[in-house]
Amino acid sequence: MIISLGIECTAHTFSIGIVDERGKIYSNTRVIFKTEKGGVHPREAAELHSKEAINVLKKALNNAGFVKIKVGDKLCFVDVLYELKKYLENKFTVFERFHEEPWNRYRYLILNDGVEVWVEDQKIKSTDEEIEKKLNKIFNRIKRDLNNFERKINLISYSAGPGLYPTLVQGAFLAKELSNTLNIKIIGVNHLIAHIEIVKLYNNFKDPVILLVSGANTMVLAYEGGRYRVFGETLDIGVGNFLDKIGRLLSLGFPAGPKIEKLAEKGKKLIELPYTVKGMDIHLGGIYTYIKNLLDRDRNISLEDLSYSIQEHIFAMLTEIVERAVAHLNKKEVGLTGGVAANRRLQSMLKSMCEERKIKFGTVPLDFANDNGAMISWTGILWFKKSVKGINTIDPYWRPEGIEITDT
Ligand code: AMP
Ligand code: MG
């Protein structure tokens, strides 16, 4: 069983996820660099990442039910909940569970009388103190048995680009350190492809068109001719950043996307704005300037109507380029991801387009739509199995078209 620890570090988020080759996600832990205005300062973000890396790693291992075990000069990360489950199975009925809360996955065991068991700080914790004591004795016995562990982390994946140079360096550094000390393989994967792969895993999609809409990115991606390609993108700023910039104009605070969504629900009148689709691409700078001028002329404009109109225009533009890609490539599935994917109006526009075309639509919870380590782990496993050539360095401008992938 391949079990990968994946590191995400392309921008504001430093995240570690642990995933196995069946696609089970044991943990997905992160810290996010935040400023009042929402911009990412690359060096400051990298400083936070380097300071927090060890804490994120500890939490990812704990949440997954893995512990660090050292016998002699050998070090490994062992799936201790699995070892415990094996041990207990003829004495108790044991269920394995996963919490699905956003920002964190958490794996634990439930024994037959409802007692919960998890790992924290290299110890077994439980809702029953007596059982906890007994389990820790067993756990200490298990720890001496390095050769008999069936399941341990055996692949390190990291996000090698595209992204910000200073933050990419932090992730690659930790990945190499872990691969050396654990003596296991390492693979550098493409961040954009990882966003696609986690949507496919979650929705059980085979060959979708993906709309990735985050702060910095806005892209239409799909597999064609042996590689993932960018079929359309923003020619200037990402949709998330655009909404945040508008938010600054309107003093809405950061992040503005959710606030614009709320205001838009009460909007009634459609204010005409520029509609700027160029072939498969969009651009947003002109719309921003138009809105800025509109506000300069009329400070009493209804924020509800303006928010509503912004959403209707921008999301229609996005739906149009996605539909064009679907028609051109004859695809049967559409996936939506990135921070802006949380928007209900965008989801419903894409959904109706897909219903009209009788094709599938799917998105992912925020935990997997934002930058996350789980998607990097999962892509690492896929690439490892298909012998896709990753890179063992970093590339801040790494485009997916350059990567040959035999099938999806
Ligand atoms: P990411 O870069 O993937 O972390 O996404 C962050 C971006 O998503 C920010 O620009 C937010 O304003 C935007 N965002 C978050 N929630 C929503 C929402 N409900 N509607 C629109 N944009 C959103
Ligand atoms: Mg991203």
Determine the distance separating the centroid of ligand 1 and the alpha carbon of 66, expressed in angstroms.
32
pLDDT on residue 105? 82
Determine the distance separating the centroid of ligand 1 and the alpha carbon of 369, expressed in angstroms.
10
Q: Within 10 A of 236 (CB to CB), how many other CB atoms are there? A: 15
Q: If DSSP codes are grouped into helix, strand and coil, which group holds residue 284?
A: coil
Q: Is the CB of 215 under 6 A from ligand 1?
A: yes
Going from the C-alpha of 207 to that of each of 4, 177, 203, 227, 346, the distances in angstroms are 24, 35, 11, 12, 21
Q: If DSSP codes are grouped into helix, strand and coil, which group holds residue 361?
A: strand
Residues 6+ apart with CB under 8 A from 155: 2, 3, 4, 5, 184, 185, 186, 187, 380, 381, 384
Query: What is the position in ligand 1's atom list of the atom closest to the CA of 13?
Result: 4
Q: If residue 116 lies in a helix (H) or strand (E), which one and from where to where? A: strand 116-120
Instruction: Give the mean pLDDT per block of 10 residues along the chain (408 residues).
Output: 97 96 95 81 92 96 94 88 92 89 84 93 95 94 80 97 96 97 96 97 97 94 96 96 94 92 97 96 96 93 97 98 97 97 97 98 95 97 94 94 86
Q: Is the CB of 243 under 6 A from ligand 1?
A: yes
Q: Which of 31, 243, 312 to mutate to test the pocket of ligand 1 (most atoms within 8 A of CB)?
A: 243
Q: If residue 16 lies in a helix (H) or strand (E), which one and from where to where? A: strand 13-20
- d(CA 407, CA 236) in angstroms, rounded, equals 32
> Which residue segments constitute the domains of the chain, with CATH numbers given?
206-365 (3.30.420.40)
**Tokens, residue 307:** 């928010």
Ligand nearest to the CA of 364: 1
pLDDT on residue 104? 75
Buried b (16+ CB within 10 A) or exposed e, 383-395: bbeeebebbeebb
Query: What is the position in ligand 1's atom list of the atom closest to the CA of 11?
Result: 2
- Whole-model pTM: value is 0.95
- d(CA 192, CA 197) in angstroms, rounded, equals 9
For 296, phi then psi, to 5°, come to -65, -35
Going from the C-alpha of 239 to that of each of 214, 346, 353, the distances in angstroms are 7, 12, 20
pLDDT on residue 146? 66
pLDDT on residue 168? 97
Number of Cα atoms under 13 Å in the Cβ half of residue 51: 9
DSSP codes, 236-283: SS-HHHHHHHHHHHTT--SS-HHHHHHHHHT--S-------EETTEE-
Residues 6+ apart with CB under 8 A from 337: 195, 196, 198, 199, 210, 211, 212, 213, 363, 364, 368, 369
- d(CA 293, CA 383) in angstroms, rounded, equals 49
Closest C-alpha residue for ligand 1 atom 2: 215
Determine the distance separating the centroid of ligand 1 and the alpha carbon of 336, expressed in angstroms.
13
Q: Which of 10, 310, 340, 349 to mutate to test the pocket of ligand 1 (most atoms within 8 A of CB)?
A: 340
Going from the C-alpha of 213 to that of each of 45, 156, 216, 312, 319, the distances in angstroms are 21, 27, 8, 16, 12
pLDDT on residue 194? 97
Query: What is the position in ligand 1's atom list of the atom closest to the CA of 256?
Result: 12
Closest C-alpha residue for ligand 1 atom 21: 257
Determine the distance separating the centroid of ligand 1 and the alpha carbon of 340, expressed in angstroms.
4
Determine the distance separating the centroid of ligand 2 and the alpha carbon of 347, expressed in angstroms.
18
Q: Is the CB of 79 under 6 A from ligand 1?
A: no
- d(CA 298, CA 308) in angstroms, rounded, equals 17
- d(CA 160, CA 169) in angstroms, rounded, equals 9
Determine the distance separating the centroid of ligand 2 and the alpha carbon of 294, expressed in angstroms.
32
- d(CA 138, CA 151) in angstroms, rounded, equals 17
Ligand nearest to the CA of 340: 1
Q: Is the CB of 339 under 6 A from ligand 1?
A: yes
Ligand nearest to the CA of 40: 1
- 185: β partners: 155
| 232 Cα distance to chain centroid | 21
